[in-house]
């Protein structure tokens, strides 16, 4: 394929002039400009992006780090990032990490090695101190709370939300409340747990470890949870579920097991993914699509304007009341041993 030198030769100008034409610089006479364009078209010339990247020190690529793309929450985020990226003529390098630290590092190394201009971290495992040094090579935007002074952060206050939910459930008479979370040791999970425990403490209700479940992401996990609950002697009357996907599994599993929602079990999800609407799941909305859009916007601004690279954005949220939260069932308010009819 032709290169810039051949264009220069064909158009009878210098390489510099070709580059000027290519990049729309002023100070090129009309006749040379058209001669260059003519040569470019005749030889079907297109600049080699590697050479451009090398010379400009910019790749117009951004790495997106996430555990799995095959999850509506992250897929939504990806879509948001993608949409804004395309508008700004950026491309996305997808780094699916499965929460493996070594894969997360590899994504950050793309930044260090100048393969990308920045990184958007949707969710990660690695600790901040390992990530921070890479911020020297370009903006890093994290969709999670961090106090780091070199990273930008878009976050949802899960402590606040969880307190809000717990209060709502307690107001409705629930005392037997369980929860599910994703990774047990993530910052968000720890905040959820803290809010949960404090809320119970305030009304002096003991914590039942049996009613707490971790590593819940997919439908299957939700089904396992509801199966486990259906076999319990004393069941929770409400579940605070960390993601709509597993909440959907719980709902559909409950239907199969004959557990009535919300009459016997209230379920609250998170994320408001499409299936939540279909299943009438009460949930918290904080559109992952919008988070993605914002993440890209911040990355882009930080790269092109001389702004501090440590913005913090707390996201609003709101509760979407649908059909899965109700009053605590009378028979369950006190510790009872009632068996519900449908059980395997």
The contact set with DNA (CB under 7 A) reads 1, 3-5, 12-20, 22-23, 26-29, 31-32, 45-48, 50-52, 54-57
Report in angstroms the alpha-carbon separations of 111 from 141, 213, 302.
12, 36, 15
| DSSP codes of every residue in 113-167 | TTS-SEEEESS--S-HHHHGGGGGGS-EEESS----SSSEEEE--HHHHHHHHHH
127 binds its own copies per the rule CB under 8 A: no
Among residues 8, 11, 82, 270, the one that binds its own copies under rule CB under 8 A: 82
For residues 160 and 274, what is the distance between their CA atoms, to the nearest angstrom?
24
Least separation in angstroms between residue 103's CB and its own copies is: 7
290 binds its own copies per the rule CB under 8 A: no
Contacts of 302 (CB under 8 A, 6+ apart): 118, 139, 141, 152, 309, 311
- No. of H helices and E strands in the chain? 14, 12
Tokens (6 digits) for 8? 């220069």
Among residues 6, 218, 297, 310, the one that binds its own copies under rule CB under 8 A: 218
Least separation in angstroms between residue 146's CB and its own copies is: 24
**Cβ proximity to its own copies, 200 vs 255, nearer residue:** 255
103 binds its own copies per the rule CB under 8 A: yes
CB neighbour class for 41 (10 Å; exposed up to 12, middle 13-18, buried from 19):
exposed
Within 10 angstroms of residue 143's Cβ, the number of other Cβ atoms is 27
Among residues 2, 4, 69, 150, the one that binds its own copies under rule CB under 8 A: 69
Among residues 12, 101, 184, 274, the one that binds its own copies under rule CB under 8 A: 274
Three-class secondary structure of residue 66 per DSSP? strand
**Cβ proximity to its own copies, 220 vs 321, nearer residue:** 220
Least separation in angstroms between residue 139's CB and its own copies is: 17
**Cβ proximity to DNA, 26 vs 206, nearer residue:** 26
21 binds its own copies per the rule CB under 8 A: no
For residues 235 and 232, what is the distance between their CA atoms, to the nearest angstrom?
6
Among residues 47, 168, 172, 173, the one that binds its own copies under rule CB under 8 A: 47
246 binds its own copies per the rule CB under 8 A: no
How many residues bind to its own copies according to rule CB under 8 A?
A: 50
Enclosing H/E stretch for 103: helix 101-112
Among residues 8, 11, 40, 64, the one that binds its own copies under rule CB under 8 A: 64
For residues 300 and 53, what is the distance between their CA atoms, to the nearest angstrom?
17
Among residues 26, 278, 330, 337, the one that binds its own copies under rule CB under 8 A: 278
**Backbone angles phi and psi of 178, in degrees to 5:** -115, 170
**Which residues make up the interface to its own copies (CB under 8 A)?**
46-51, 53-54, 59, 61, 64, 68-72, 75-76, 78-79, 82-83, 86, 91-96, 103, 106, 109-110, 112-115, 218-220, 223, 248-249, 252-253, 274-275, 277-279
């Amino acid at each position: 394929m032709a290169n810039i030198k051949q264009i220069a030769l064909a158009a009878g100008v210098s390489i510099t002039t070709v580059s000027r034409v290519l990049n729309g610089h002023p100070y090129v006479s009309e006749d040379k400009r058209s001669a260059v364009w003519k040569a470019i078209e005749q030889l079907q010339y297109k600049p080699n992006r590697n050479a451009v990247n090398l010379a400009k020190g910019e790749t117009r690529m951004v790495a997106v780090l996430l555990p799995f793309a095959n999850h509506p929450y992250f897929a939504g985020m990806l879509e948001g990032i993608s949409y804004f990226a395309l508008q700004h003529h950026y491309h996305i390098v997808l780094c699916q990490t499965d929460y493996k630290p070594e894969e997360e590092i590899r994504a950050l190394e793309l930044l260090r090695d100048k393969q990308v201009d920045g990184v958007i971290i949707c969710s990660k495992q690695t600790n901040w101190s390992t990530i921070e040094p890479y911020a020297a090579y370009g903006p890093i935007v994290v969709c999670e709370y961090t106090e780091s002074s070199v990273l930008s952060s878009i976050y949802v206050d899960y402590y606040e939300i969880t307190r809000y939910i717990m209060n709502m459930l307690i107001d409705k008479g629930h005392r037997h409340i369980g929860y599910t979370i994703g990774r047990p040791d993530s910052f968000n999970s720890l905040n959820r747990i803290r809010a949960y425990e404090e809320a119970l403490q305030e009304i002096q209700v003991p914590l039942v470890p049996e009613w707490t479940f971790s590593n819940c992401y997919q439908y299957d996990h939700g089904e396992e949870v509801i199966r486990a609950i259906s076999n319990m002697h004393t069941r929770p009357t409400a579940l605070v579920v960390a993601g709509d996907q597993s909440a959907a599994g719980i709902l559909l599993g409950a239907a199969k097991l004959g557990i009535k929602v919300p009459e016997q079990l209230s379920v609250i999800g998170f994320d408001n993914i499409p299936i939540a609407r279909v299943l009438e799941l009460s949930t918290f909305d904080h559109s992952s699509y919008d988070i993605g859009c914002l993440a890209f916007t911040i990355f882009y601004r930080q790269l092109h304007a001389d702004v501090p690279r440590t913005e913090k954005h707390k996201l609003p949220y709101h509760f979407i009341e649908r059909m899965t939260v109700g009053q605590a069932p009378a028979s369950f308010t006190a510790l009872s041993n009632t068996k519900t009819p449908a059980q395997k």
